[in-house]
Amino acid sequence: MSDLAIEVRNLKKHFGQVIAVDDISFEVKKTEVFGFLGPNGAGKTTTINILCTLLLPGAGEAKVNGFNVLTSPNEVRKSIGIIFQDPSLDERLTAYENLNFHGMIYHLPAKERASRIREVLDMVGLYSKKDNIVRTFSGGMKRRLEIARGLMHCPKILFLDEPTTGLDPQTRQHIWDYILNLSRKDKITIFLTTHYMDEAEICERVGIIDHGKIVALDSPGALSSKYNVPSLNDVFLEVTGRDIREEGSDDKAHLSEFLRAKIKLK
Amino acid sequence: MDLDAIKMIWMRDLIRHFRDRVRLLGSITRPVLWLLIMGTGLRAAFNVQGISYTHFIFPGIIAMNLIFSAMMSTISIIWDREFGFLREILVSPIPRSSIVLGKALSGATVAFIEGLFVLAFAPVIKIHIPFVNLLLLLPLMFLLGFVCTTLGIVIAARMTSFEGFGVISNFVIMPLFFLSGAMFPIDNLPHWISFVVRINPLTYGVDLLRWETLGIRSFALHHDLIFLIVFAFVMLSIGVFEFNKTN
């Protein structure tokens, strides 16, 4: 119990008729770097949203840092930092203001706030831009600022939902170096999702989710040898590949239906 | 209650508000239009209770600026939901009641400041407000701004689009304004209008402002105050309930 950062038991969640998460169970140890992989719509973000208390679990149990997300959400919130898939900065404020307000809601005293802001901004290389309005930042700069913000209050567990989507290779490299260094140095547990399988190779363990169910769960090396393929990418295609194609054709059917409806309207 | 969080939400909204110059322009042109043009134009036609029409609508125009800016300030809730910042707030360990209270206080502050813009016209239209009344008027303006913001929060918390909020708020602001006694006396109204007037919080706000600026009123002071405070409390409770929903 005490060496587990995340415990998920028989977790279920559905939205209307759609089952997003279907009876999944897994554990993440403290200080582990855990990758949560799956095709679009597989249930990754729903799981993260439940773990960070934005959604209530439909059934089953989820504990983060030993606290149940259902019964002690505030304790969970104090333990975690999150970098969302979609931006969640206030773009009308400066970088400094964004971080300062973040520090205020996590109760960092004013002095500590100032020094932490300097620290995290230096780390992501944005200190010289601290008084610029966030709206003027590039996509990569915004991402770096979000990462700085997620780390500012020294969370025990850091959730990263596709943190490097849409970034250039240099920025991706920079962000991963930083995250790995952090997990070693500050002993932070990292729970990440990504579509880049080369990035997932750095995880100590990965779980692959598809159609709301966990279809593989082990270290990238163990999974490669189990399926007898050279890389995690091949493992991923092996366990989820067929379904992607089905989803793809479904999407196409939807799209053409949508276009037909549009044309009829005209 | 989480004072740090309330302060953070309050400060953030004020910074954002004062960076938006266009909004400030609106809050100055509105009273000019109503007070100087409507008031002056209709002065010849109406003379209410021995008071010139411009004077009669003056407290009503203060109330109008209060309700407009209070409701508009709550649009930031929809904005935050649309642009993701609300998630930053919702995953943080802030009690939901502090989020709602912070929003209500920032809306009240913004509304209060915009109400002052109208108050500044008092000498222009030759209304003299005794110093004691002025001291009482300021907190009452803040209170009315607070009450209107809590109503805006309840509406914004349930809305999912800016367009929807625009429609609803106009659908709410204009009737509340017209049926508050801001534009005409509320005595001797037909029964159905009288009923709406009596459940309209703005009625009691306008009544308080008119008492402090012109020395006339329709209800007892404690009646006005109790209605406004109870109304704000009910709206705050609904607002907290809405923010607590996590599906």
Q: What is the DSSP string of B189-228?
A: --HHHHHHHHT-HHHHHHHHHHHHHHS--SS-HHHHHHHH
State residue A260's pLDDT score. 52
Place of tokens 């802030």: B94
A262, A193, A199: which is closest to A39 by C-alpha? A193
pLDDT in tens, B206-216: 999 999 999 88
Q: Which residues of A touch B (CB under 8 A)?
A: 52-56, 74, 77-78, 80, 82, 84, 86-93, 97, 101-102, 104-107, 149
* The one-letter amino acid at A134: V
Q: What letter would DSSP give residue A106?
A: T
CA angle A214, A247, A166 (to 5 degrees): 80
Q: Using CB atoms, pick whichever of A87, A104, A105 lies closest to residue B84.
A: A87
CA angle A142, A144, A147 (to 5 degrees): 110
Classify residue A241 as left (phi > 0), alpha (psi -120 to 50) or beta. alpha
Is any Cβ of chain A less than 8 angstroms from the Cβ of B92? Answer: yes
**Chain A interface, best mutation among B88, B89, B244, by max A CB count within 10 A:** B88
Contact (CB<8Å) A106/B92: yes
State residue A25's pLDDT score. 94
Q: Using CB atoms, pick whichever of B87, B93, B94 lies closest to residue A54.
A: B87
Query: What is the C-alpha to C-alpha distance for residues A32 and A205, in angstroms, rounded to an integer?
Result: 8
State residue A250's pLDDT score. 45
Q: At what angle do helices B53-73 and B131-158 cross, to 10 degrees?
A: 40
CA angle B230, B197, B132 (to 5 degrees): 65
Residue B182 has pLDDT above 70, yes or no: yes
List beta partners, residue A13.
A21
State residue A242's pLDDT score. 55
| More reliable by pLDDT, A248 or B50 | B50
* The one-letter amino acid at A111: K
3-state class (DSSP) for residue B18: helix
Can you give the pTM of this predicted structure?
0.84
**If you measure CA to CA, which chain A residue comes closest to B18?**
A92
State residue A2's pLDDT score. 67
Query: What is the C-alpha to C-alpha distance for residues B23 and A15, in angstroms, rounded to an integer?
Result: 39
Place of tokens 């740090």: B4
Is any Cβ of chain A less than 8 angstroms from the Cβ of B94? Answer: yes
Sort out which chain A residues have CB atoms less than 8 A from B12's CB and list them: 90, 93, 97, 101
Query: What is the C-alpha to C-alpha distance for residues B85 and B99, in angstroms, rounded to an integer?
Result: 13
| More reliable by pLDDT, A264 or B241 | B241
Place of tokens 């930031």: B76
Place of tokens 């203060």: B62
Residue B1 has pLDDT above 50, yes or no: yes
**If you measure CA to CA, which chain B residue comes closest to A146?**
B88
Sort out which chain A residues have CB atoms less than 8 A from B90's CB and list them: 53-54
**Chain A interface, best mutation among B92, B101, B106, by max A CB count within 10 A:** B92
- Banded model confidence at residue B246, pLDDT cuts 50, 70, 90: low
Rounded to a whole number of angstroms, the distance between the first and last alpha carbons of chain B is: 24
Contact (CB<8Å) B89/A90: no
- Interface predicted TM-score (ipTM): 0.84
Contact (CB<8Å) B84/A80: no
CA distances from A112 to A151, A185, A232 (A): 14, 20, 42
CB of A62 within 8 A of CB of A7?
yes
**Chain B interface, best mutation among A86, A89, A92, by max B CB count within 10 A:** A92
3-state class (DSSP) for residue A22: strand
Mean pLDDT of chain B: 89
Sort out which chain B residues have CB atoms less than 8 A from A52's CB and list them: 91
Query: What is the C-alpha to C-alpha distance for residues B182 and A215, in angstroms, rounded to an integer?
Result: 66
Q: Which residues of chain A have pLDDT under 70?
A: 1-2, 242-266
Q: Using CB atoms, pick whichever of A77, A86, A104 lies closest to residue B8.
A: A104
CB of B127 within 8 A of CB of B62?
no
State residue B187's pLDDT score. 82
Contact (CB<8Å) A80/B91: yes
Is any Cβ of chain A less than 8 angstroms from the Cβ of B246? Answer: yes
List beta partners, residue A35.
A192, A206
Contact (CB<8Å) A54/B4: no
State residue B8's pLDDT score. 93
Q: How far is CA A146 from the centre of its chain?
A: 12
Query: What is the C-alpha to C-alpha distance for residues A199 and A111, in angstroms, rounded to an integer?
Result: 37
Backbone φ and ψ for B13, nearest 5 degrees, come out as -65, -40
Burial, A159: exposed, middle or buried (Cβ in 10 Å; 0-12, 13-18, 19+)?
Answer: buried
